[in-house]
Amino acid sequence: MTSVVSAHPPAEVVVDHGPRLLASIGDTMKLATHRELWSDPRLSRVATGQLIEWARAVGIAGRGGAGFPFATKLAAAVKAAGLVRRPVIVVNAAEGEPASAKDFALALTVPHRVLDGAAATAYSLRCNEIHVVVPRDRPLVGEALRAAIAERRDAGERLSWKVTETGPGFVAGQARAVIEALSGRPGLPTTAWQPEAVSGLRGRPTLLSNAETWAQVGALVTLGPEAYAGLGADAEPGTTLLSLSGLPGLAPGTVRVVEVPYGTQWSEVLGDAVSRPVLVGGFHGTWAPGGALASMRVSRVAMGAMGAMGLTLGAGVAVLLPDGECPVAVTAAITAYLASESAGRCGPCFNGLPVLAAEVSALAGCDVGASYTRIRDLLGLVERRGACAHPDGTARLVRSMVTVFEDEVVAHLGGVCRIAEDGLRARIGEGMATGLAGVGVRAGVGAEPRAEACGEARAETGVGRP
């Protein structure tokens, strides 16, 4: 039994052909072939006002996790900019979330789509400085983007591209942490008194967006809003990338990256596995109960069916709960990982997350001391009490676990993990057939076999970094 929860970047990434951004994967690594399909952004110079209007019309939301409207960010940067306060553009491909691989996929298959979006915006804003932030623990991303930038320079593009490595770590890709890293300081979150678009790198208006967001902006500039809206739902034009893990037939540690138009049925994306519980939005995300997504469509709109259940796509990560694994144990493993990833700067996060993780672990292990009230109290103590959203995201995950898997949580509080118990029963059944070989070892001889079985799931999920 292996878990989908890992503290490390995916061991393998499978990238599917998609309808737009991933339409030409494999063919357009090189700039020359890319240009045969997608025109140079220098040629389609879009006025800033028009770009804001277009981005607002098609509703491009940030793909880094927060889903902030790109048009609003761009408008703020334009307003804050001045003759001697030229804006700075940052392409954030730092992707610190272990279950996410979409930025990795973009960098390795269609790097110029990402860079085109940033370049087009730079031309539009008349700024020259573009930073590309890449993760240290996924070296192929930096390699691919550096090679792509070199090609563009050779082709005569006169933008100042600068690639900076950041991380490793879950919070290294957080906007303020990225700006700190670019400023030459340790890449850790700081308090944002003003939005980055108003005052970011060296106090300049900084348009910091996720790599996929830039690729979407690139597509919008090249296609125009009408053609861009040719894919997706009426209320929500365009496509989104998804990083899927735990799919049947996918080896553990493998992430499948797909591009789907908004409005695609989840049952189409996940197949029969849609009946399983799914962690939507990654480790800072929300659990969807088994089968809940079956009638839903892929969407970021807060008013939609997903939004009504509190399911936000975030960075587009979906982790399926493997068959026979306890959701409480999986949540405990993720919480422990997130606690270990606290940057350690803010007191409530540094102190609160480890305690919260220990409490959720106690619950997963069916400990006598596990306390629901204590977990609820701790959630209140960490939420909105940090420079970045790490404590909030962690609290969101735990909160959704206690809501969605209420029955499981209650069973654990009563000292029983029903899933581990079923598994034990199944294993004993197997053991009967095969002469009981090994059953004693797996179940843990003696007291509390159920707790042991659940603890075992936790141990196997590879909590923390070595």
Partner 1 sequence: MRTLRVDWPACKGRGVCAEVLPELIALDEWGYPIVGGPVPDDLRDLAVEAVAACPHAALRLLTARA
Contact residues for partner 1 (CB under 8 A)? 188-191, 193, 345-349, 351-352, 381, 385-387
| Shortest spacing between CB 69 and partner 1, in angstroms | 17
| Shortest spacing between CB 3 and partner 1, in angstroms | 31
Q: Which is nearer to partner 1, 146 or 374 (CB)?
A: 374
| Shortest spacing between CB 341 and partner 1, in angstroms | 16
Q: Which is nearer to partner 1, 318 or 387 (CB)?
A: 387
| Antiparallel, parallel or unpaired: β 278-280 and 317-320 | antiparallel
| Shortest spacing between CB 331 and partner 1, in angstroms | 23
CB count in 10 Å sphere of residue 410: 12
Q: Check whether the bond before 225 is cis (ω within 30° of 0).
A: no
Q: Is residue 128 helix, strand or coil? A: coil
Q: Which is nearer to partner 1, 50 or 190 (CB)?
A: 190
| Shortest spacing between CB 356 and partner 1, in angstroms | 12
Q: Please state, in angstroms and as integers, the Cα–Cα distance from residue 406 to each residue in 62, 321, 372, 403, following that order.
A: 32, 16, 11, 5
| Shortest spacing between CB 352 and partner 1, in angstroms | 7
| Shortest spacing between CB 461 and partner 1, in angstroms | 28
State in Å, rounded, how far the first CA of the chain is from the last one.
21
Q: Which is nearer to partner 1, 64 or 352 (CB)?
A: 352
CB 8, CB 207: distance < 8 Å:
no
Q: Which is nearer to partner 1, 392 or 460 (CB)?
A: 392
How far is Cα 354 from Cα 405, in angstroms, rounded to an integer? 22
How far is Cα 318 from Cα 398, in angstroms, rounded to an integer? 16
Q: Please state, in angstroms and as integers, the Cα–Cα distance from residue 126 to each residue in 8, 44, 112, 159, following that order.
A: 39, 14, 20, 10
Q: Which is nearer to partner 1, 188 or 207 (CB)?
A: 188
DSSP per-residue letters across 174-220:
SHHHHHHHHTTS-------SS-TTTS-GGGS-EEEEEHHHHHHHHHH
Q: Which is nearer to partner 1, 147 or 358 (CB)?
A: 358
CB 366, CB 448: distance < 8 Å:
yes
